[in-house]
Structure 1
Amino acid sequence: MTGWTADRIPDQHGRTAVVTGANSGLGLVTATELARRGAHVVLAVRNTAAGAEAARRIGGDVEVRELDLASLDSVRGFAAKLAADHPAIDLLINNAGVVLLGPRRTSADGFELQLATNLLGHFALTGLLLGNLAAAPAARVVSLSSITHRNAHLDFGDLMSERNYRAAAVYGRSKLATTVFGVELDRRLRAAGSPVASVLAHPGITRTNLTPRAWEHRGRLGRVIARVGLLATQPVEQGTLPQLRAATDPGVRGGQFFGPAGLWETRGRVTEARFSREATDPAVGGRLWAAAEELTGVSYL
């Protein structure tokens, strides 16, 4: 397999990177590669004990901070302390996510949990740190999409999926919302003349711990399905390359989208990925932005 690899990541000394969900899976590999190239990496994790173990494994210049994206109070507390300690932030990688295949669950703020974690927490976090990102010379925000966004549709009359809840479909909608956010953020950053770039990536179908966790509630059958599914995925090191390229490739421009090139973008070398039509619709972007500002209480741009 040829193409862009982690060996092409430029030197990151003197740069500060924040990676959400950095204690496992895509986030752990992302944090490891950035630290290996000399970045100061903030592991933003819900479980600080798991974060400390990840930091031990990574080595280098890393720190662990608690962040629960499903709680806006946690997001605000995390952002306030981080902004005070790090006046300039070079990379914000909105990597963390949750996928559920069980009954509908809600966040600490009463929002549907997948939308709360995958979109609203990151929307608030990005807005609260935007001043620190703008203080860096060439900062980037990387939003993690999914190929599932292409089969989803946003229902602005039922953003919290209270009617006819189907967890897999709701996950796809949360990832469409995340994708719309990344595109609309790029649109607004450009209009404001901001030096910050918004870039997107998706991992295809990658071997992480999200799939096994999602099937845990199905008991023995669920565990079998999870194991079979893992056999069809690509290694996490390969699945992480799109977001590493989005974060570090000097030639990347705001608004670009990276993912695997092979087998319907499920695996393989890194290439530019394909958006759904809805993901890039300015009208959809504007409506989602207004809704996210209202729901989170965070306004920017």
Structure 2
Amino acid sequence: MSDSDLSSRTVLVTGATSGIGFETARQLAERGATVLVHGRTAEDTQAATDKLIAAAGIDAGQVCGVTADFTCLEEVEALARRVVAEHPHLDTLVNNAGIAAPERHTLTADGNEIVLQVNFLAHYLLTCLLEPALTSDPGGRVVNVSSSLHRTASIQWSDPHRVRRYSRLAAYAQSQLALTVFAADPRVTAVSVHPGVCETELLSLYAINGASAAEGAAHVVRLCDPATEIVNGAYYDRDQRVEPAQAATEDRTVKRLSKLADQLIGHNT
């Protein structure tokens, strides 16, 4: 993996207070990047930024905490407005925040199934709203942290909130397929990556044991590096580019998902 200097780069990492998100923020900051550290609450975000600053070699000016609860789309909009205003030149957006689906079917106040909103719709909205700030300079990109479980999924077009038949694993997999499909949206330069099965809060969905969060984050950071050339819509399993599920590369599916997402977030993005 390249250890090129990233001091000219500004990166927003969602879900950066723990797990792969925190390790991604740490590794980016250690290589000189300015990192916007997103957390769900102000307390979580402050604790994460304090921990990063305490790490060797990371300057306080390199990390900036930003907060939004992705179960509330209004907070996502406020986050986007703040980032565009304070960081009009954003090199990379890492769409990493994610939750495991709850045992029981749960809707957000916005009326969306909670894992679909947190893992996909909030990132879709955020990405669209950050488009003015996301640079078109060489190396500018979006990195969606997805999952190999997207291969097991289908998008329930007529019942995306899975009201009629809810399964937590199916709901989670659907959110990951949607995020993977979104990487092929022509409006942004984006890739998606499965960072491997890691020791995070989502481990129970995959296995008993996993790699360290730092190992998983290294695969994300590699794709943030402008020295790593990417093709829009590409999918990586750790450090290897592989073909995603067939649906993730179909133009019809990409357009259909965009239309559905616009409806669900109530925006004409």
Counterpart of 2:194 in structure 1 is 202
The answer to whether the aligner puts 1:100 opposite 2:101 as a matched pair is: yes
Unaligned runs of 5+ in 2: 54-58
Question: Paired residue for 1:166?
Answer: 167
Aligned equivalents of 1:297 and 1:101: distance in 2? 24
The answer to whether the Cα contact below 8 Å between 1:26 and 1:240 also exists between their aligned partners in 2 is yes
- SS of the residue 1:29 aligns to: helix
Aligned positions of 1:136-285 closer than 5 A: 136=137, 138-183=139-184, 185=185, 188-189=186-187, 197-211=189-203, 229-230=207-208, 232-253=209-230, 254-260=232-238, 270-285=239-254
Q: How many residues align?
A: 261
Report 1:47-86 matches (<5 A). 47-59=41-53, 60=59, 61-86=62-87
Instruction: Specify whether residues 291 and 209 from structure 1 end up closer, same or farther in structure 2 by C-alpha distance, changes over 3 A only.
Output: same
Distance, in Å, in 1 between the alignment partners of 2:65 and 2:190 is 24
CA contact (8 A) 1:89 1:135 kept: no
1:151 aligned partner, one-letter code? T
**How far, CA to CA, are the matches of 2:105 and 2:233 in structure 1?**
32
Structure 1 counterpart of 2:36, from 42, 56, 62? 42
Rounded to whole Å, the distance in 2 between the matches of 1:237 and 1:288 is: 32
Q: Aligned pair in 2 of structure 1 residues 89, 298: CA closer, same or farther (>3 Å)? A: farther
Q: Which amino acid aligns with 2:198?
A: T
Q: Secondary structure at the match of 2:199?
A: coil
Secondary structure at 2:38's aligned position in 1? strand
Residue number in structure 2 paired with 1:24: 18
- 15 and 298 in structure 1: CA distance in 2 versus 1, 3 angstrom threshold: farther
Q: Could you tell me how far apart the structure 1 residues matched to 2:120 and 2:149 are?
A: 15
Deviations 1:135-170 (A, max 9, x none): 655311011110110011111011111111111111
Q: How far is 1:180 from its partner?
A: 0.8
CA distance in 2, matches of 1:273, 1:241: 18
Cα pair distance change 1:279/1:135, threshold 3 Å: closer
TM-score of the superposed pair, with normalisation by structure 1: 0.82
Q: Distance in 1 between matches of 2:136 and 2:268?
A: 19
Quote how far apart the aligned CAs of 1:109 are: 0.4
Cα offset, 1:82, TM superposition = 1.4
Whole-angstrom distance in 2 between the partners of 1:286 and 1:256: 17
Any conservation in 1 of the 2:40–2:67 contact (CA below 8 Å)?
A: yes
Further displaced range: 101-110 or 128-137: 128-137
Q: Give the CA deviation at 1:233.
A: 1.1
Superposed CA deviations along residues 45-85 of structure 1, whole A, max 9, x for unmatched, are 10221221211221231011111122110011111111111
- Measure the CA separation in 2 of the matches of 1:120 and 1:237: 26
**Amino acid paired to 2:189:** A
Q: Percent identity?
A: 32
Between 135-144 and 152-161, report the one with greater CA deviation.
135-144
1:124 aligns with 2:116: no
Counterpart position of 1:222: none
> Could you state the TM-score of these two structures normalised by the residue count of structure 2?
0.91
Q: Rg: which structure is higher?
A: 1
2:92: which partner in 1? 91
Tell me what 1:221 maps to.
none
CA distance in structure 2 between the aligned counterparts of 1:49 and 1:74, rounded to whole angstroms: 16
**CA positional deviation for 1:101:** 4.2
Are the aligned partners of 2:180 and 2:235 in contact in 1 as well (CA < 8 Å)? no
CA distance in 1, matches of 2:177, 2:148: 9
User: Does the 8 A contact of 2:80 with 2:129 survive in 1?
Assistant: yes
Work out the CA distance in 1 between the residues paired with 2:177 and 2:63: 31
